[in-house]
Amino acid sequence: MKRVIDVTCSALILLILSPIVIVTCILIRFKLGAPILFKQERIGYKDQVFIVYKLRTMSDARDENGHLLPDSVRLTRLGKIIRKLSIDEIPQLVNVLKGDMSIVGPRPLLVKYLPYYTERERKRHQVKPGITGLAQIAGRNILEWDERFAIDVEYVENASIWLDMKIMLLTIVKVLRKEDIVDVPSEHLMDFDMERKLKA
């Protein structure tokens, strides 16, 4: 049932939002050049690695040594608008159609974080990762890692179609109100692997 809802909703949303996506892609190509999509390896269901898709919001500006500048410097004005409206997340509907993700579930995180989860925290990988989730409606990027993972596990242990519907409705409200949005999450929250290394 969940898969049917995922595929149906993803296809409909992509169809409805396609004009917005097309215009945004043209703007990204004009302002930032190619590529239009940002692709990155993430951890998904049962610790499997997959490629997540997002619309690109940052430039590739580098220092004199060829290293990428901080996210806060590379995030463009257009990128800020795209993130504020959550348009950058729309390509993940393709991930849902492919079966890598679900509309609702714990957010997929970086591969390098995998060794640092506790056994309980790894339960978040017992379901497919989602575009939105219980942690996102509880605070999105303003939650600390421990809080986020505790909420993710709570979702896994109580997952149901009705809970998913509630999360989807509350997500729409938050997106329309532009709540709990942080332009550059790394400025608010230390990388998870670094945090765990410091605590070790």
Query: Are β-strands 49-55 and 130-132 bridged in parallel, bridged antiparallel, or unpaired?
Result: unpaired
- pTM here is 0.89
Residue extents of the structural domains in the chain: 2-199
Give the integer Cα–Cα distance in Å for 195 and 66: 26
pLDDT digits (tens, 9 = 90+) for 52-66: 999 999 988 787 777
Only one residue has tokens 């339960």, namely 123
Q: What are phi and psi of 50, to 5 degrees?
A: -140, 170
Closest CA to 154 of 103, 105, 192: 105
Closest CA to 90 of 27, 23, 138, 18: 18
pLDDT digits (tens, 9 = 90+) for 149-191: 999 999 999 999 999 999 999 998 888 887 666 555 655 678 8
C-alpha distances out from residue 70 to 51, 74, 181, 195, Å? 23, 6, 19, 18
Looking at residue 81, its pLDDT comes to: 92
Q: Distance of alpha carbon 184 from its chain centroid, rounded?
A: 13
Sign of CA dihedral 92, 94, 98, 103: positive
pLDDT digits (tens, 9 = 90+) for 5-25: 999 999 999 999 999 999 999
Task: Using a pLDDT cut of 70, give the percent of the chain over it.
Answer: 94
